[in-house]
Amino acid sequence: MANIGNPKDYLILTNNPLIVECLQGKGAWTIDFRPELKFRDVLVTARDLVYAGHLLYTHPLSGSVKPNETPYKSVILSVEPHGMDNDHAIMIANAIEVTDKFQILDWSHSEQAMKDFRLIDYTLICGAIGFDALSGLSNKQSL
């Protein structure tokens, strides 16, 4: 993994609306919000960026949440390409392979469960960037 030291070089690729609601404008990072993507699609998009030379700053399967247990996924990559990194390419390819081994679950969960899934993904990203997750949530009315 690349050193995650410069927030100006953080590209947060996500399908999680909570990331946008709580982190947009709160730091130097860039958020690429793609609500239409499913979990696996976020990984495939991250893979394409890695193949184009962007670095992975977070592990694509961070946390203890299995790929089929949540519809939300956020990955931090470099904003700019820094050159192809074979280790990162292998890591993202392996993450997609692991994801493909899990049966896709029905996401007709309760709205509270979906909020919980968004919150888990959000707190993982906040931990990676050193952002106080609670301060980002402080202005939200619906948690």
Alpha-helical regions (H) of 66-110:
86-100
Structural domain includes residue 143: no
Question: What is the pLDDT of the chain when averaged over all its residues?
Answer: 91
Residue 1 lies in a domain: no
User: pLDDT tens digits, residue range 116-125?
Assistant: 999 999 999 9
Q: What is the pLDDT of residues 38-50, one digit of tens each?
A: 999 999 999 999 9
pLDDT band at 30 (very low <50, low <70, confident <90, very high): very high
Q: Which residues contact 27 (CB under 8 A, 6 or more apart)?
A: 7, 10, 129, 131
Does 124 fall in a domain? Answer: yes
pLDDT of residue 28: 92
Please report the pLDDT score of residue 143 as a whole number.
Answer: 56
For the entire predicted model, the pTM comes to 0.91
Which residue has tokens 């860039």? 30
Q: Is residue 85 part of a domain?
A: yes
**Domain enclosing residue 120, as ranges:** 7-138
Burial 25-44 (b: 16+ CB within 10 A, else e): eebebebbbeeebebbebbb
- pLDDT attached to residue 104: 74
Domain assignment of residue 99, yes or no:
yes
Let me know if residue 2 belongs to a domain.
no
Question: Do the strands 74-78 and 10-14 form a parallel or antiparallel pair, or are they unpaired?
Answer: antiparallel
pLDDT at site 1:
58
pLDDT exceeds 70 at position 2? no
Q: In DSSP terms, which residues pair with 76 in a beta bridge?
A: 12
Among residues 48, 83, 46, 82, which one has the least CA distance to residue 61?
A: 46
What total of structural domains would you count in the chain?
1
Planar angle of CA 101, 103, 109, nearest 5 degrees: 140
> Strands across the sheet with 30-33, in order?
30-33, 10-14, 74-78
CB 54 within 8 A of CB 78: yes
Summarised one tens digit per residue, pLDDT across range 84-110 is 999 999 999 999 999 999 987 776 768
Q: Tell me whether residue 102 is in a domain.
A: yes
Q: Is residue 43 part of a domain?
A: yes
